[in-house]
Amino acid sequence: MRVAFGGYYITGDFALGMRVNPPAMLIGKSADRLQQVVSGQGWSEGKIIDRGNQLTTLSFRAERVFDTTQEAESYMIGYEAAGLHPWDNATALLVCDTPGGIKYHYMFPAAISAPRFSYMGCRVFAEYTITGGQFTTVADYSASYWFRPNGNRVPTGEKSTLTGEAWERSGNNLRPKASLVSDDDWEFSGSNLRPKA
């Protein structure tokens, strides 16, 4: 299973290959739902009611191989400061290679915990936990580049399946595209990019 969070491939990055960034290992999934016990005077049995509010937790182990021990140590120690992905309000993407072809699962919005690291030589091992509502096979890219904490737009760093949007990734940064076909939030006014009303 390949796992991406906020557009950053934690495991199974196609660009890095199987040796450097293999698929996830030791995958676990648990879900909790809010339940309420209802009882009444003189009842011989109580009732339990499912109130929903499901939270799903996915845990897995990731591995990454570097050319030198120093690179492995630097990646492990500087992971949180590197800004590789947002920590919440992002899309978790699971890519499963099945005999019938690739199957995608999405969770949005999701939050990820800081991973627990260890390393041996040039090999870094990390244990991740991602929590959100539930997984779906339908992508929700309504906030692919932006989410709105306290009413303000903030970039998430998400990748989008849509083409011709106003923004593109350049390393870890978002920058305006030179040309724009369509975008839900932005439009050109002459040569300037401005938010849509």
Confidence band, pLDDT 50/70/90 cuts, at residue 180: low
Instruction: Catalogue the long-range contacts made by 65-72 (C-beta closer than 8 Å, 24 or more residues apart).
Output: 65/19, 65/20, 65/21, 65/122, 65/123, 65/124, 66/122, 66/123, 66/124, 67/122, 68/122, 69/119, 69/121, 69/122, 71/122, 72/119, 72/121, 72/122, 72/123, 72/124
Better-scored residue on pLDDT, 166 or 195? 195
pLDDT band at residue 178 using 50, 70 and 90 as cut-offs: low
pLDDT at 31 over 80: yes
Q: Per-residue pLDDT averaged across 47-76, rounded?
A: 95
Please give the residue that has the higher pLDDT: either 182 or 196: 196
Question: What's the mean pLDDT in 72-80?
Answer: 95
**Is it the case that residue 17 has pLDDT exceeding 80?**
yes
Q: Hey, what's the torsion of the CAs at 11, 13, 19, 21, to 10 degrees?
A: -30
150 has pLDDT over 60: no
Q: What is the pTM of this model?
A: 0.68
Mean pLDDT over 13-36 rounds to 92
Mean pLDDT of 150-174: 54
Q: What confidence category does residue 130 fall into, taking pLDDT thresholds of 50, 70 and 90?
A: very high
Domains annotated for the chain, with CATH where assigned, are: 2-35+48-141 (2.40.30)
Per-chain mean pLDDT for the chain: 82
Tell me, what's the pLDDT at 171?
65
pLDDT > 90? residue 28: yes
Provide the pLDDT for residue 151.
46
Distance of alpha carbon 132 from alpha carbon 111, whole angstroms: 6
**What pLDDT does 34 receive?**
92
Average of pLDDT values for 49-72?
A: 94
